[in-house]
Amino acid sequence: MSIIKPFNALRPGAQYAKQVASRPYDVLSSDEARVEARGNPNSFLHITKSEIDLPENINTHSTEVYEKAKENLNAFIKREVLFRENKACYYVYRLVMNGRSQTGLVCASSIDDYENDVIKKHEFTRPDKELDRINHIKTTGAQTGNVFLAYRNVAALDELIDKWVSTKTAVYNFKANDGIEHTVWIINDTNKIDTITKIFNEEVPCTYIADGHHRAASAAKVRKALNNNSSDNANYFLTTLFPASQLQIMDYNRVVKNLNGCNVHEFLNALQEDFIVEEKGSEAYRPEHLHDFGLYTDKKWYKLTAKEGSYSNDPIGVLDVTILQNNILGKYLNIHDQRTDKNIDFIGGIRGLSELERRVDSGEMAAAFSLYPVSIEQLFSIADTGNVMPPKSTWFEPKLRDGLLTHLICE
């Protein structure tokens, strides 16, 4: 069963919340972060992307960057932009995007659960990305990045949270510049806190990492590195848990730099072995069903429908990202490891199909593939069977903002 606990969040005063809240560190480049934080000394990007306050040619993984993050975090506390909650609490975080809302519980989740597979994974992690967050956490003494977990709905918990947010006043309520609404409530009632902890301990057998595999892995490795030379807080990591019924996974699309020596005509002919190929013209094609793909190349869109028998029906083989890998990327384009191959790049669905067209039309890329999103049940099935999805299979929106609730691992 799942072990969670309330925590004393480091958080902004209400008047600073919108200024502090920043997009996750791993969805922005350093240059994008500089632009986004410009003119805003309270942006949490000064902590999560602290290279923006150093010379532009700085190595983003250098000691100076992590020390700057610590310096900036301490400065935020000294200026009273951030303060520490005086009681361990749970927090409710609601996001609204395009009229659709999802409401999660912000808490500290057990690293033991992560290591014992009570918290289930569906992706491999990269050592270089882990090391970056390990150094950031160890230097700042803070988990600034939230790990997005999902769980199967529990009626009693749904009811408790719904009642709380309908009768209590939010501590934060603002619309970010991208139009996404962020609202946070504090659950500080001891009885309610105990009830929530008990529900997870008795009725939630496991949770699933939806987004944040590297943040979770890094927290676990920091705990091990500290070797019990820290407070109990290092045994937990910052998470927000969302019920599965509220989640939506967006498409995660691909672009490739070349067609491995084929021209467009040859490539389309080759694809007909495993796909029904239908020309769609200049209008962007977004797949409407599993096993349908969009292909954009040479200023035209094509619909690709995987033929029966061209893929397996096991939990991994049936995924569209697997069909794309086995029947196109590996078979014709010589791309066998999407995590490391320089011929491929990934574009989250939030950027739209126009971004695929732009990358191809600019000449930077030769072709783009639009995919039908993975379902939450597919994600659960893969994690439950101990399998791992191909890289960049899921894109969740809206994303939690950094800075609103931070978990300190040092007292």
pTM comes to 0.85
Mean pLDDT score, 276-298: 95
Fold of the domain built from segment(s) 252-372: 3.30.1760
Residues 6+ apart with CB under 8 A from 402: 21, 22, 23, 24, 25, 44, 45, 48, 144, 145, 146
Q: What length is written for the chain? A: 411
Q: Can you give the pLDDT at residue 340?
A: 83
Q: What is the pLDDT of residues 357-383, one digit of tens each?
A: 999 999 999 999 999 998 888 889 888
- Rounded to the nearest 5°, which phi and psi values hold at 236? -135, 160
Residues 6+ positions from 119 with CB-CB distance below 8 Å: 2, 109, 110, 113, 149, 206, 207, 208, 209, 216
Structure tokens given for 32:
């994008």
pLDDT in tens, 185-235: 999 999 999 999 999 999 999 999 988 899 999 999 999 888 766 678 999
Give the domain ranges of the chain: 4-249+397-408, 252-372
Contacts with 45 (C-beta within 8 Å, 6 or more apart), sequence order = 22, 23, 25, 28, 33, 36, 37, 52, 402
Pairwise CA distance, residues 116 & 339, whole Å: 26
Distance separating alpha carbons of residues 4 and 203, to the nearest angstrom = 12
Q: How far is CA 397 from CA 61, 91, 342, 400, in A?
A: 27, 20, 26, 9
Q: What is the pLDDT of residue 52?
A: 96
What mean pLDDT is predicted for residues 294-321? 92
Q: What is the pLDDT of residue 205?
A: 95
| Rounded distance between C-alpha atoms, residue 235 and residue 215, angstroms | 14
Res. 351 pLDDT band, cuts 50 70 90? confident
pLDDT number for residue 338:
86
Q: Is the pLDDT of residue 71 over 90?
A: yes
